[in-house]
């Protein structure tokens, strides 16, 4: 593939986190269900990463749900990924942790030399939209402040003579 396409692609995200095998992550993904949209969180262990940090980069996350192992492969620059939280990082000696599939119980949950390594990555587009909304609020507040304030006293209701 042409390098100019992969480096200047419109879906490339900025400040992509450094993800490695052995990291525990929480992936926030926007799910569209009919007219509604919600954010679904998938938390688990990264068992493999492929193709680096370019447009073709992917990472596979494994978690145990109802005593069944579930693996989900995410493209790194997927537009529906809103946030990636890195919870812990373990020192592993392999690039692909497929042996974790055979482990059961606490052995599957805990890796050796696991340390807290918190890092949060949010989509830059979402942050820009929040900043624009805040700027608009500030502008509307400034416009309200500039408008002359006139205090109107409520008029006293005059009793009607016809009704008693």
Instruction: Identify whether 64 is part of a domain.
Output: yes
How many domains in the chain? 1
Alpha carbon of residue 104 to chain centroid: 29
- CATH number of 85's domain: 2.30.30
Instruction: Identify whether 155 is part of a domain.
Output: no
Contact predicate 112/90, CB 8 Å: yes
Contact predicate 51/58, CB 8 Å: yes
Instruction: Identify whether 164 is part of a domain.
Output: no
Instruction: Identify whether 75 is part of a domain.
Output: yes
Domain extent, residue 124, equals: 3-129
Q: Is the pLDDT of residue 3 over 70?
A: no
Condensed to tens digits (0 to 9), the pLDDT of residues 89-99 reads 888 888 888 88
Contact predicate 82/122, CB 8 Å: yes
Condensed to tens digits (0 to 9), the pLDDT of residues 30-66 reads 999 999 999 999 999 999 999 888 888 899 999 888 8
Token pair listed for 35 = 């007219």
């Amino acid at each position: 593939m042409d390098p100019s396409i992969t480096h200047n692609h419109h879906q490339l995200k900025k400040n992509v986190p450094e993800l490695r095998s052995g990291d525990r992550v929480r992936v926030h993904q926007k799910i569209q269900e009919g007219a509604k949209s919600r954010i679904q969180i998938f938390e688990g262990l990264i068992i493999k990463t492929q193709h680096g940090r370019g447009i073709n980069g992917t990472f596979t996350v494994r978690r145990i749900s109802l005593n069944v192992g579930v693996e989900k492969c995410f493209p790194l620059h997927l537009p529906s990924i809103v946030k990636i939280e890195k919870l812990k990082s373990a020192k592993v000696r392999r690039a692909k942790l497929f042996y974790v599939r055979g482990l059961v119980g606490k052995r599957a949950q805990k890796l050796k030399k696991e340390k807290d390594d918190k890092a949060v990555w949010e989509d830059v587009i979402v942050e820009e939209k929040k900043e624009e909304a805040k700027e608009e609020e500030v502008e509307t507040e400034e416009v309200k402040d500039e408008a002359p304030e006139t205090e109107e006293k409520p008029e006293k209701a005059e009793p009607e003579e016809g009704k008693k």
